[in-house]
Amino acid sequence: MTISVRKTIAVAILAAAASLALSGCGTTRAGQPMTIDEAQAEAIAEFRSALALAPDTWPQEVPKPAVFDCRIDGVRAVQFSYFVAVEAPAAPGVLVAQAGEHWEREGYELSKTQTEMDPETGQVYAVVARADGKPRASMAATKVRAHVNVDSRCVLGDPDDYR
């Protein structure tokens, strides 16, 4: 293919692609607008309920969230992510399975993963729980470490106000 033909094709494809908005973070569906306080409260409640499943494993305090940029219909919005990790969990597979069952009861759809991390560490167990109109939750664990994460829904607001 000649260079000029390549470039013509490139420009045509790019023009088509550029006409479609490329968003940054995930978007919510059009629905009831939610306030920041509500989004945080919802995510915190979900996070707490996950921690409460294994109070001997997880610290029960909710940490300060990480603040992420996201977009709702192209408008800059904010998402709060709650994350905690612990060393050497007692039964990583059970921990993750328990969380999966809990989220399934709450109406979430699950993606479950189990694979070898490396020969020394052994298996990594992970579950991601997703549902429309709910915060996203996930947990991953090996015999070395476990972490749980809940991301609030994306809501209109300025992420810089929360950093």
120 binds another protein (CB under 8 A): yes
Torsion of CA 136, 140, 146, 152, to 10 degrees: -10
8 Å CB contact between 155 and 78 = yes
Contact 112, 127 (CB under 8 A): yes
Q: Which is nearer to another protein, 36 or 85 (CB)?
A: 85
Q: Single out the residue of 49, 43, 46 nearest to residue 65, CA to CA.
A: 43
- Site for another protein, residues 59 to 78, rule: CB under 8 A: 64-70
Interatomic CA distance for residues 157 and 50, integer angstroms: 27
Contact pick of 57, 145, 156, 158 for another protein (by CB under 8 A): 145
Q: How far is the CB of 134 from another protein (least distance, A)?
A: 5
Residues linked to residue 136 through DSSP beta bridges, in sequence order:
151
90 lines the binding site for another protein (CB under 8 A):
no
Contact residues: another protein, CB under 8 A: 3, 6-7, 9-11, 13-15, 17-18, 20, 22-29, 64-70, 79, 81, 83-85, 108-109, 111-115, 117-118, 120-121, 124, 126, 128-136, 138, 140-142, 144-147, 149, 151, 153-154, 163
